Every structure is written in C-alpha cells, then in structure tokens.
A and B are shown apart, each in its own frame.
Chain A
Amino acid sequence: KAGVTQTPRYLIKTRGQQVTLSCSPISGHRSVSWYQQTPGQGLQFLFEYFSETQRNKGNFPGRFSGRQFSNSRSEMNVSTLELGDSALYLCASSLKEGVWTEAFFGQGTRLTVV
C-alpha cells in the first residue's frame, strides 16, 4: 500500500521567487493537511483540504495558498519567498470512506530559501 508521497524532496529557491509543492495522499484518503516545521516554531498547521475545499486555515500570511484536486492530490504554493519560509513542509492524509483515520504523513519537502 503506497504511503503519502510528497514531491520534490528538496528544493532551493531564491528570495522573491514562488514555489509549488505537491502531495499525493494514500489511496482512498480524502483529507489532506499541510504543516510547516521549523526548529524555532516547531510544527505549525498551514491548512486542510477536503473535497477540493479549504476547510481550515492556520495563521499564515496570504502568500501561502493551496488547493486540492478531484483525485484528492494537493498542492501548496508560496509566493514571494522570504528567508523565513525555509522549513520542512509536511503533508498528511486521512479520512477514508467517511471514517476519520489517524493522520499519515509524507516524508516532507525541505525548502531552502537563499
């Protein structure tokens, strides 16, 4: 059974650029959540998608956005990158056939902004 797949694994971008990260949930899972992990702030919730709709959003600026497709795959986008956006971005999937399961995480995308 395939797990949560995040691509790319590593990314280096320059300040001011934008970036798109991708997350493919476990087959059958319909909820996808994104988290930012940094040494200083720890794990912080970004947003959650379910049925192509953003259901919940964390306290991040509007530069952070996302979307979910009909096959439940999700992307998150960060525009006008800042040095402080350097972090590990984790995606988690859950909810199968109307039943909430525990969140299963991908291996993350390590974003470095220079």
Chain B
Amino acid sequence: AQTVTQSQPEMSVQEAETVTLSCTYDTSESDYYLFWYKQPPSRQMILVIRQEAYKQQNATENRFSVNFQKAAKSFSLKISDSQLGDAAMYFCAYRRRGGGSNYKLTFGKGTLLTVNP
C-alpha cells in the first residue's frame, strides 16, 4: 500500500520569505502523480501543484515549485515570496497512474503553515 508522510506538523514563515514543506512517500509503482493541496479555514481543498512521476522536470506554478526526487521518494513544496493568503493546511497526496478507474488519493497528515506579517 502507498503511504505519504509529512514530517512537519507545523511551519511558520515571515511574509515575503521562502518556506519549504517536506513530503516523502512510499510506493512500489513506477508511474504515478503527486500533488500538493491547500486547505484554508474555509475547508475547500485547492490544488496547488501537480507532478507526473515520469517527468524529470520539477513543476512550477507562479510562486510555488516542487523538488521531486524520485529515487529518494521525496516531494517538497517551496513557496516563494510568502503571502498572508498562503496560510493554510497543506497536504501532500499520491495517486497511481493508469490501472482502470482507481482514482483514489492517498494523503499525508498535513502541515499547518502560518504566515507572519
């Protein structure tokens, strides 16, 4: 079974600074997707960024980028120029690719990010 581990229950960052959230995962699959989701107090889970395992290039979305190390099974999220609106719970998630209609997401426990003004 796949597992996702987020070792940082809480993190804090000063506004405009950079912060990195860690995630490791365990899988025997070779082809899969990895995601970072953000859940603000409104409870809506919002996709921040996604990475296909077959792509060696790290994904980037504006101020958000990942460091994907497939051999190490590591998938960290870097938030640059942090803003107050980035404060939320961040979840790392895994989904296998292909294999019928198995669209189950496996989530880590989450990292609560606080942004200090």
Query: Which A residues fall within an 8 A CB radius of B?
Result: 31, 33, 35, 42-43, 45, 48, 50, 55-56, 58, 88, 90, 92, 94-95, 100, 102-108, 110
B43, A102: Cβ atoms closer than 8 Å: no
B101, A107: Cβ atoms closer than 8 Å: no
Nearest to B42 among chain A residues (CB) is: A107
CA distance A35 to B105 in the complex (A): 9
Surface stretch bound by A, among B16-24, B68-76, B106-114 = B106-114
Query: Which B residues fall within an 8 A CB radius of A?
Result: 33, 35, 37, 42-47, 50, 91, 100-110
B103, A42: Cβ atoms closer than 8 Å: no
B102, A55: Cβ atoms closer than 8 Å: yes
CA distance A104 to B105 in the complex (A): 12
CA distance A33 to B106 in the complex (A): 12
